[in-house]
């Protein structure tokens, strides 16, 4: 019989499990029920007691590695914590969120335990054996993997499972002790953009995509990059949306190009960009060519605003296409949302 372990960690507050961790818990419960396997949940946190409360109703065995050394991500301490949790649980299958924290240590821990790892898992199936699904070749080919190697580590993509939400209650947590090697890395703090400047929001319901049309000459023969920036930022604020971009727009550089200053290559969606998961997507001033739209694979409801009635979106790539001027449409939408100026 498989021993299933779900590895979890807390967010910046230090006491709440991350959403991706809670998604892994859901995946673990479903898989354990199907396989008839035992379920253990391991927590890495400075103080695991508060985090463990929300897991009380899972009925799983709870293990924790706690202490100040585990407050912040760092390879040495995180790898040691995960290794100790796996050994304590005698895990054969290990599920973990594909967060930067666990992606950094997953392969190393699997190697220490003589196991195997697969990443970017989007679904788990099977009743007799574990069947893990992932996409290859920029989401064009979907594969179902099974392996005999144990322990088998599976890093789950965020947004693929519902986050576990149980009634918090007091619960017993078994502390697992870890002998840390000398720590050569000291985490002195985090430099992050202000929340306002953060345009990539993986948990947002809506993705707004900006295309190169925003920086092209408009009907009056002029470029309106500043107005475009204000409209886009105003909408992001009012709707709490995440910002994606076409490659043509993020590639713009040079003195003659009116680049939207808040865009980086991290915003790029598509074949050579990201493939985010959002319930809805609104494309603006973008042509909807295949290398771009391949990044929309996991956007459920797709809409586009384009001046071109022959753009890719109208050719079966979107659910709804508005053949209209995005400057006018977004100004009206922002007014309806009560959005102030973008700056
Ligand atoms: C190997 C390879 C990989 C690639 N990878 C990617 C990728 O990862 N992501 C990506 O995006 N692209 C990728 N591309 C490029 C892709 O093929 C397109 O060139 C790119 O997506 C075009 O960007 P765009 O639609 O914003 O710009 P354009 O093609 O210039 O389209 C601009 C659109 O804006 C419209 N428009 C202008 N003004 C307005 C207005 N006022 N209101 C409404 N609409 C307006 C125009 O009608 C036009 O349809 C890749 C290409 C290759 C060859």
* Whether residues 210 and 303 fall in one domain: yes
What pLDDT score does 189 carry? 82
What pLDDT score does 256 carry? 56
pLDDT 10s digits, 180-201: 999 999 888 877 766 557 899 9
Residue 274 CA to ligand 1 center (angstroms) comes to: 15
Atom number, ligand 1, closest to the C-alpha of residue 308: 47
331 lines ligand 1 (CB under 6 A): no
4 lines ligand 1 (CB under 6 A): no
Atom number, ligand 1, closest to the C-alpha of residue 326: 42
Considering the entire predicted model, what is its pTM?
Answer: 0.81
57 φ/ψ angles, rounded to the nearest 5 degrees: -80, 0
* Whether residues 125 and 156 fall in one domain: yes
Q: Report yes or no on 79 lying in a domain.
A: yes
* Whether residues 103 and 57 fall in one domain: yes
Residue 271 CA to ligand 1 center (angstroms) comes to: 12
The residue out of 175, 204, 231 marking a domain boundary is: 175
H/E stretch holding 117 reads: strand 116-125
* Mean pLDDT over each residue of the chain, to the nearest integer: 93
CATH code assigned at 143: 3.40.50.620
* Whether residues 126 and 236 fall in one domain: no
Distance from C-alpha of 29 to C-alpha of 152, rounded to nearest angstrom: 17
Looking at the structure of the chain, the number of domains it has is 2
* Whether residues 199 and 171 fall in one domain: no
Give the domain range for residue 288: 195-337
Structure tokens at 271: 């074949």
What pLDDT score does 195 carry? 56
List of the chain residues with pLDDT < 70:
193-196, 254-259, 339-343
* Whether residues 39 and 103 fall in one domain: yes
pLDDT 10s digits, 227-275: 999 999 999 999 999 999 999 999 997 655 566 888 889 999 999 999 9
321 lines ligand 1 (CB under 6 A): no
Q: What is the DSSP string of 86-97?
A: HHHHT-SEEEEE
278 lines ligand 1 (CB under 6 A): no
Q: Whose CA is nearest to atom 22 of ligand 1?
A: 248
Q: Report yes or no on 190 lying in a domain.
A: no
Query: Are 161 and 27 in contact, with CB atoms under 8 Å apart?
Result: yes
211 lines ligand 1 (CB under 6 A): yes
């Amino acid at each position: 019989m498989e021993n299933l372990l779900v590895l979890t960690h807390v967010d910046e507050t230090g006491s709440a499990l991350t959403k991706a961790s809670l998604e892994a818990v859901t995946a673990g419960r479903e898989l354990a029920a199907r396989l008839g396997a035992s379920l253990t949940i391991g927590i890495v946190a400075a103080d695991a007691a508060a985090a463990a409360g929300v897991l009380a109703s899972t009925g799983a065995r709870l293990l924790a590695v706690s202490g100040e050394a585990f407050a912040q991500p760092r390879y040495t301490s995180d790898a040691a914590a995960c290794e100790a949790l796996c050994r304590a649980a005698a895990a054969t299958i290990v599920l973990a969120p594909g967060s930067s924290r666990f992606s950094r240590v997953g392969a190393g821990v699997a190697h220490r335990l003589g196991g195997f790892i697969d990443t970017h898992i989007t679904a788990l199936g099977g009743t007799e054996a574990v069947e893990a699904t992932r996409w290859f070749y920029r989401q064009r080919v979907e594969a179902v993997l099974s392996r005999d190697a144990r322990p088998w580590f599976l890093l789950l993509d965020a947004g693929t499972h519902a986050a576990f939400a149980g009634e918090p209650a007091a619960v017993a947590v078994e502390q697992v002790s870890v002998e840390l090697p000398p720590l050569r890395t000291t985490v002195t703090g985090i430099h992050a953009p202000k929340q306002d400047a953060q345009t990539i929001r993986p948990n947002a319901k809506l993705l707004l995509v900006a295309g190169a049309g925003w920086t092209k000459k408009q009907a009056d023969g002029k470029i309106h990059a500043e107005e475009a920036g204000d409209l886009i930022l105003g909408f992001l604020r009012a709707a709490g949306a995440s910002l994606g971009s076409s490659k043509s727009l993020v590639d713009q550089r040079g003195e003659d190009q009116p680049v939207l200053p808040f865009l980086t290559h991290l915003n790029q969606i598509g074949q050579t960009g990201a493939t985010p998961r959002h319930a809805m997507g609104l494309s603006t001033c973008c042509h909807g060519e295949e290398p771009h739209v391949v990044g929309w694979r996991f956007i459920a409801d797709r809409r586009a605003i384009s001046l071109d009635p022959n753009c890719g979106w109208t050719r079966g790539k979107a659910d709804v296409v508005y053949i209209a001027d995005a400057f006018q449409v977004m100004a009206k939408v922002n007014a309806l949302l009560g959005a102030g100026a973008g700056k």
